Amino acid sequence: MQMQVPVADTLASLAELVHALHWLEPNYLTRDFDQAATAGEMHDVILEFGYAANSKTLRDTGDERVHKLLNQILPLTATLREFFTINLWPASTAQLQSWKHALSTAPSGKYAFRDDGSIRISLLDADLHGLSLSVRRIWSHVSDFSGSLTEFDLKLEAEQAAEFKARLANLRSFPLPL
């Protein structure tokens, strides 16, 4: 529960910036942001804002005020994205081999391991059953704003499962609606 207040504050700050941006440069994302009713919907809008703030979708204006707002929005979207994901590191060589085997047949599985050896998993797209984690979305090191849909199961250690449960419980406290 420790992350709830910073996440609420970050989300409130993002809402202010999103509306200030809309005043300068009207965009469809503000409507989507305001209408997000679930953590999943808000996550999708945050991802799209992060992507659009760094692309011509919103940056094609010559207005420096827009660029300044986008530069303030980007770190907030990055902070909130971290809230929706978990990085898992293999606890042993045997577990690493087990995970590599599980990923070998999964779509986008070859891109799952990050440079630091971890796998970043969407908390919204994974289910824990005992010590088995069923994953439907991973975040690879390859540039991707919506994550890679996939299907695989990872065997976790008790500590990894406890961390996943704690992060998921924290996510369930996501401060919606605003």
Query: Per residue in 94-107, pLDDT tens?
Result: 999 999 999 888 87
Average pLDDT rounded to a whole number, residues 35-59: 84
Q: For residues 8 and 164, which has the higher predicted lDDT (pLDDT)?
A: 164
- Can you give the pLDDT at residue 2? 42
**DSSP letter string, 83-136:** HTEEEE--SSHHHHHHHHHHHHTSTTGGG-B-TTS-EEEEGGGEEEETTEEEEE
pTM for the full predicted model: 0.78
Residue 117 zone, left/alpha/beta (φ > 0; ψ -120 to 50; rest)? left
| Count of other CB atoms within 10 angstroms of residue 160 | 20
Mean pLDDT for the chain overall: 85
Domain ranges of the chain: 4-83, 86-172
Confidence of residue 5 (pLDDT cuts 50, 70, 90): low
Percent pLDDT > 70 in the chain is 89
Confidence of residue 1 (pLDDT cuts 50, 70, 90): very low
In terms of average pLDDT, the best of 83-87, 107-111, 126-130 is: 126-130
